[in-house]
């Protein structure tokens, strides 16, 4: 199955989580030299707390072959690029406990993405930049990873 990654936008991504980017309501701080966009990430953590981690990921060659999706039943997972990395965001609706047809987005280096709790998604997949990301997700014990090997792998181009 071939997919072309579509531009990431809040409207297109709404069923899977949030796009975190500038452009909406803000306040001017620091004598007018900084715009603050406040409280943009909806946390949804079960039995744990949100914490900050760093992910240092290899830059992936294109086209990208995806044969595995995963989801986290106990919390959302938010990725914020640090080194101008554009990256693929591969998600799928749930169909009776397994992923339905995947959808691919191309996120730019100024865009973060907050994948909603229990949403099927591919692993972090930077295609440019440094591959370093700030990640906000659940810190806690217990099983928070479910993986599903795709019967039909997906090839993604941009």
- Write out the binding residues for its own copies, residues 80-109 only, by CB under 8 A: 80-84, 109
10 binds its own copies (CB under 8 A): no
Task: Indicate which single residue of 14, 110, 142, 157 sits in contact with its own copies (rule: CB under 8 A).
Answer: 110
Draw the binding track, 24-63, toward its own copies (x: CB under 8 A; -: no contact).
--x--xxx-xxxxxxxxx-x-----xxxxxxxxxx-x---
In order of 3, 47, 94, the CA distances from 65 in angstroms are 10, 34, 20
Kindly state whether residue 123 participates in binding its own copies, applying the rule CB under 8 A: yes
Phi, psi of 12, rounded to the nearest 5 degrees: -70, -25
Residue 36 vs 95, nearer CB to its own copies: 36
Q: How far is the CB of 20 from its own copies (least distance, A)?
A: 7
Residue 4 CB, shortest distance to its own copies, in Å, is 23
CA distances from 58 to 37, 89, 126, 131, 137 (A): 30, 15, 7, 6, 20
CA pair distance 137, 117, nearest whole angstrom: 10
Give the separation between CA 81 and CA 134, rounded to whole angstroms. Answer: 6
Cβ atoms within 10 Å, residue 4: 10
Which residues sit at the interface with its own copies, rule CB under 8 A?
Answer: 20-22, 26, 29-31, 33-41, 43, 49-58, 60, 78, 80-84, 109-110, 112, 123-124, 130, 132, 134-136, 139
């Amino acid at each position: 199955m071939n997919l072309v990654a579509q531009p990431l936008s809040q409207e297109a991504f709404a069923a899977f989580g949030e796009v975190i980017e500038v452009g909406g309501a803000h306040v001017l701080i620091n004598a007018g030299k900084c715009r603050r966009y406040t409280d943009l990430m909806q946390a949804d953590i079960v039995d744990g707390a949100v914490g900050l981690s760093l992910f240092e990921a290899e830059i992936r060659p294109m086209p990208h072959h995806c044969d595995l999706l995963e989801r986290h039943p106990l919390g959302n997972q938010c990725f914020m690029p640090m080194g101008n990395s554009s990256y693929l965001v591969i998600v799928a609706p749930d169909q009776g406990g397994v992923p339905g047809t995947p959808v691919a987005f191309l996120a730019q280096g100024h865009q973060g993405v907050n994948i909603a709790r229990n949403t099927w998604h591919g692993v972090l997949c930077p295609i440019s930049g440094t591959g370093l990301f700030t990640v906000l997700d659940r810190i806690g014990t217990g099983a928070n990873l479910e993986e599903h090997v795709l019967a039909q792998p997906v090839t993604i181009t941009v």
